[in-house]
Structure 1
């Protein structure tokens, strides 16, 4: 039987690449020096796309593949896939939710702890001899007993809030509506600005969309204030990055822990001159266990589609 032809938008680890190559005829978009020539040669053969959340599939790429049937996203975010183009042509789309949820939540909480307690600087203090030469490391801020806000109480936001309870933090959240699965101690605050005003730590865990673009703007950032911390483990587009940088530079915002950036991996160099940010390379799901599970689910969705079955984790079905 002829293997289905798919377009691979970006690289995967070897443990995913080998079984992907075994199951499908794979055309590597990211390795093609002449992409129009690639489409001219095999565009009509391609029935599926294997992509990553940050790479997605643009309307132009979708239009170049007249027999495209399915797009499988390695990641929970699918905002880089042109869903309108998919909807218009009946192209199915899947992602890999749940398998990465708890790892992302873990990293968000870890970033809060590391930045609050100055753990990165404290390790340098030990390694460069400052402890011996200068004495104790400067005092930092406690976490327990403070107030945390979660902007977007979806899968990841819920897991973040669960973890924060273990640190005796008061939990508030904002979403389009109150969630019946949120336990009674958690307070629903409809307005993100009001939420930011009330809390010490604001976690951004929203799915990205046109409606959420820059939802964390100047007003929210200023409401969080000079003692507040912003933690983003969602998408860069949810935050007005210029407003964030200005607030960090002027100390209008206390600090920020960030795993995502506009234009990553080439982030704005203004971030590199700040001492009140913790910068991470978009690796909230970056554990061996989770990445293997994500790759398996990506392949399982493609396999299900080409076998005529329902997608396991559909975005558009």
Structure 2
């Protein structure tokens, strides 16, 4: 007699293609549809073999404690919303989807660099709204040869740095510690990196350790010729300080794909030609989405076959 498929909690909505495959392979239960989550978790404690989530949904201690075993597969590279201490305490393995999104996120970061410095979105509006016959579009800022500062030289930060080299940009980076194996200069002082950079790209982890790391002193150091680019986590940037810096022309502009309270964007960052705002789309290409979905499935299969996930948080 064939064993029943593993039972998995679905912590929140998932991409439709991934959800369809999961429902074919596993017994899925949508936790977010339970009206009394706490009572449900208490009533079903120990009866599920694992869970599937997304970085935006996270996985809290009460879910890990209810599982008491098994696996939590996360669609996304960010794991600040996953209570890893609770996971370790409860013996639950956790996986994320790193690496497969590096190139697309780095591409988007450079798209934001070009769009914000060259005013590409505003220039498009200049034509679309019929303003070109009345006068030329204002001068913009060159990108090639400018100084690129990266906050967080992880997998994505390194991919951004490589693209910067293609634009003949000197690259420096700031992080928890230097990486001797990379050909870029390490700057231990974030303020000094901002003061040096023409473009300051945020590519570090989210979470308490980096909350509002980019604040008024950093933005003041970046200066009226500098641009801030954020493709990391919205929580890393003090958005009120950024809106004030934009309004007071303390920095030249910004390119943003992430926000602290998505999908809500502070009004002070909207309606400005020198601020490009995207709806958290850096990794949302067909190719990357398919690769991330496959890695979730591969992690689940590996766990239920070998007892080990392929890509734990790192």
Q: Give the alignment's TM-score, normalised by structure 2.
A: 0.93
Question: Structure 2 vs 1, CA of residues 269 and 303 (structure 1 numbering), >3 Å: closer, same or farther?
Answer: same
Distance 1:30 1:157 in 2: 34
| 1:205 equivalenced with 2:207 (yes/no) | no
Question: How many residues get paired?
Answer: 312
- Aligned partner of 2:33 in structure 1 is 31
- Aligned partner of 2:182 in structure 1 is 182
SS in 2 for 1:252: coil
Q: Which runs of 5+ in 1 are unaligned?
A: none
1:276 to 274, 277, 280: 274
| 1:116 equivalenced with 2:117 (yes/no) | yes
- Aligned partner of 2:303 in structure 1 is 305
Kept after mapping to 2: 8 A contact 1:115/1:278: yes
CA RMSD of aligned residues (A): 1.8
Kept after mapping to 2: 8 A contact 1:148/1:169: yes
Out of 233-242 and 289-298, give the one that drifted further. Answer: 233-242
Distance 1:214 1:94 in 2: 27
- The within-5 A match list for 1:9-88 is 9-36=11-38, 38-39=40-41, 42-63=44-65, 65-88=66-89
The structural deviation recorded for 1:90 is 1.9
Question: Structure 2 vs 1, CA of residues 43 and 168 (structure 1 numbering), >3 Å: closer, same or farther?
Answer: same
The structural deviation recorded for 1:194 is 0.7
SS in 1 for 2:290: helix
Kept after mapping to 2: 8 A contact 1:233/1:260: yes
The structural deviation recorded for 1:313 is 0.5
Q: Which runs of 5+ in 2 are unaligned?
A: none
SS in 2 for 1:179: coil
| 1:95 equivalenced with 2:96 (yes/no) | yes
Distance 1:292 1:33 in 2: 32
Distance 1:34 1:209 in 2: 27
